[in-house]
Structure 1
Amino acid sequence: MDKLHNKTIHIDQMPGHAIRRLHQISVGIAHQEAQALSITPVQYAILQSVHNHPNTDQRTLANLVSLDTSTTAGVVDRLEARGLLTRNASPDDRRVRLLTLTPAGEQLLAEAIPRMERVQELILAPLTPSQRIDFMELLNKLVSTNNELSRAAHSDARKLA
């Protein structure tokens, strides 16, 4: 038997596998909770970030939600097509498009917020309040410490730790 196969590897003991599974679970819960709104977790993140940072440009938005610029552009295209946000030329630089939510976008976001809060509650439901705090501290430490290894690094990730 060669050296590679003389040891049993249990993928369920690997953090990367558990993180991927938790992501699958969180997306499943989010789709279940927000299905009536036809909104994905990424679309919610973009709507919430544009609401929090009105008149932000797409590059800044991509950083805020930790996505690459092409993925962000595609999501913004879909949200704009649904009439949920608008892109307007910056008065300072006509090449830059500034994003704002439309009234329909604000309304959808208002409906989505309690659903997405419930998603977070359901994800963390198996944990005690103390475990939730510990889990989030450790999770944010992993994210901030490993941020630069991401395909879409967040410039403020160190603030999470």
Structure 2
Amino acid sequence: MFDNLSNKLFFRLYQTANTLQKVGAQALDSEQVTTQQWSVLGALSRQSVQNGMSVSELCEYLKLSRQNMTGVLNRLEDRGVIARSIDPNDQRSRLICMTEKGAELWASIAPLINGFYEEALIGFSEEDRISFAHYLNKLLNAMHKMDRTNT
């Protein structure tokens, strides 16, 4: 019926993803930040995107649907932590940028996120973490090739 080991791996991955959503949200509950908002702020905080990212770029980078992304961006914009502006290279497109208030929020949640990472990865050596990242990237790349929506 199923390759038992593969079934266990994917079931454990599914459980881990669901637990990440739940426990990650608990880690930032005091700041009223969801894991999806955390991921958007993290993406926008990178030095390489100081001028912003398009919604499409954010969706691709974070592997979120446009529908989910729209809701997350609306809530972040309502809080004043992101702003949308017209892309100077494409008047039809909008760039999403982190505001000063967003940078302050990111700075305040960074220690909570780091604490979450350390607690979640307790017992993982540096070598374990490197190997784990390698295998997650390998799986993500294989699944990306399977995605029929990619062109």
Residue type matched to 1:148 in 2? K
Identical aligned pairs, as a percentage? 23
Unaligned runs of 5+ in 1: 156-161
Aligned residue in 2 for 1:105: 102
Aligned residue in 2 for 1:23: 17
Residue type matched to 1:138 in 2? Y
Larger radius of gyration: 1
Unaligned runs of 5+ in 2: none
Q: Is the 8 A contact 1:29 1:122 kept in 2?
A: no
Deviations 1:50-84 (A, max 9, x none): 22213221111111211122221221111111111
Query: Which residue, out of 27, 31, 55, partners 1:33?
Result: 27
How do 1:49-88 and structure 2 match up within 5 A? 49-52=43-46, 53=49, 54-88=51-85
Query: Which residue, out of 81, 84, 89, partners 2:86?
Result: 89
Instruction: Give the whole-Å Cα distance in 2 for the aligned partners of 1:127 and 1:95.
Output: 46
Normalised to the residue count of structure 2, the TM-score between the two structures is 0.83
Bigger relative contact order, structure 1 or 2, given CA contacts below 8 A and separation 6+?
1
Q: Secondary structure at 2:92's aligned position in 1?
A: coil
User: For the structure 1 residues 151 and 111, does the alpha-carbon distance in structure 2 shift closer, same or farther, using more than 3 Å as the test?
Assistant: farther
Q: Which aligned runs of 4 or more in structure 1 are off by greater than 6 angstroms?
A: none
Query: Which residue, out of 17, 42, 46, partners 1:48?
Result: 42
Q: How many residues align?
A: 148
Aligned residue in 2 for 1:159: none
Residue type matched to 2:112 in 1? R
User: For the structure 1 residues 151 and 127, does the alpha-carbon distance in structure 2 shift closer, same or farther, using more than 3 Å as the test?
Assistant: farther
Query: Which residue, out of 130, 133, 157, partners 2:130?
Result: 133
What RMSD over aligned residues (CA atoms) do the two structures have, in Å? 2.7
2:146 aligned with 1:149, yes or no? Answer: yes
Q: Is the 8 A contact 1:68 1:151 kept in 2?
A: no
Normalised to the residue count of structure 1, the TM-score between the two structures is 0.78
Aligned residue in 2 for 1:158: none
